[in-house]
Structure 1
């Protein structure tokens, strides 16, 4: 999974209060990459990682249990995992078309309450910008109560979209840290020898 992220994406960038210890993360779900990206962010943050998955998806990819996948009906296991690390619960359920949030289910809030851990809204986008490969951006919000999750996630997603819209497409938005390096664009690889040559010849521009 780590190799897939580093080879397939231009990097993973994060912003906001990164959870420490047990937490239920409630992100939007608009990309195939979402679970992979959040696992890499958890590794970067030094947190255990688990994610709720539908029974059909997990039966197709049973090896994902080895990296933290928990079937959606294994509620007790989910509560236990949330107490020791990040448990990702997608309130929208299955992957949805990119854009605004779809109807959200109450499972993330219920598990956070049962586990006694923070419920964290997380905005997530995997987008094509100025690089050759898509880039992943994760914006963590402050913990919220269950009834406030819908509004909080809408706010974080709108803020992330605004950050991307207002930034230079060839540089990360202000305030985002690179958690995971990724695939360099061909233009960056081609430009490196020319920069080295300029340094050797003393032509610094």
Structure 2
């Protein structure tokens, strides 16, 4: 297949945005190894980019459903797997062919918190394609670094009827992990997949150590 230079440029741009805009991406749980419908909560601008980056990291083909009016403004995102949320048949074909199909069942970006009422599209696509429906808890927020960090928690496959309960449960578990953690360290049990590792809070970076030496009075020196 002939390489698509536009897709390569967009992929590089998205990955650069993630590496410069986020402090890192961490994942817990088992992501699908074949076709699946991923059903994450949608409480951050970064959500689609984070899931697309994970698909690139693990070598999975992916389609991310977007609102048609958004896609009309950014039609070039089709070159990296975007589909309109009304293109359900195309989403079914992609899932059957082995791709991750990312469907935000809340329908649009929502304030952080518990999931809002879920729409039925994710369950319908999974049922028509005969693939697992996987809830994904996702949080992007500031902790102990200047830039926000993204944490994902993959849940067990759910039924369409049980998706709302499963997503709320997994999101609650992720929130509990975050609440109980040291904000200056990554969450225990989460795999670092993107971005710079968290620094050791007991060891400042090189510029800080040099500045400390320059400004420390030292023995025999006057302030």
Same fold (TM over 0.5): yes
Aligned to 2:79, what secondary structure does the other structure show?
Answer: helix
For the residue of structure 2 that corresponds to 1:146, the secondary structure is coil
Partner of 1:40: 53
Name the counterpart of 1:173.
187
Cα deviation, 1:80-114, whole Å, max 9, x if unaligned, reads 11121110000001100111111100100000000
Q: Which has the higher contact order (CA 8 A, sep 6+)?
A: 1
Query: Does the CA contact (< 8 Å) of 2:61 and 2:99 recur in 1?
Result: yes
Task: Tell me whether 1:146 sits opposite 2:160 in the alignment.
Answer: yes
Name the counterpart of 1:121.
135
The structural deviation recorded for 1:190 is: 6.1
TM-score by length of 2: 0.83
Shift of 1:188: 10
Matched residue, 1:200: none
Does 1:111 pair with 2:100?
A: no
Partner Cα distance (1:125, 1:111) in 2:
24
Structure 2 residue aligned with 1:93: 107
Could you tell me how far apart the structure 1 residues matched to 2:107 and 2:197 are? Answer: 29
Please name the residue that 2:19 is paired with: 6
| Long gaps (5+) in structure 2 | 1-13, 211-223
Structure 1 residues 108-138: Cα deviation after superposition (integer angstroms, max 9, x where no partner) = 0000000010000000000100011000000
Distance 1:99 1:14 in 2: 19
- Total equivalences in the alignment: 195
Does the aligned pair in 1 maintain the 2:185–2:198 contact within 8 Å? no
Partner deviation per Cα, 1:49-84 (whole Å, 9 max, x = no partner): 111111100001111101111111211110111121
Counterpart Cα distance in 2 of 1:9 and 1:129 = 11
Q: TM-score, with normalisation over the residues of structure 1?
A: 0.90
| TM-aligned CA distance change 1:11 to 1:2, over 3 Å | same
Alignment partner of 1:56 is 2:89: no
**Cα 1:73/1:131, change in 2 over 3 Å:** same
Distance of 2:204 and 2:178 partners within structure 1: 26
TM-aligned CA deviation for residue 183 of structure 1: 8.8
Aligned counterpart, 1:161? 175
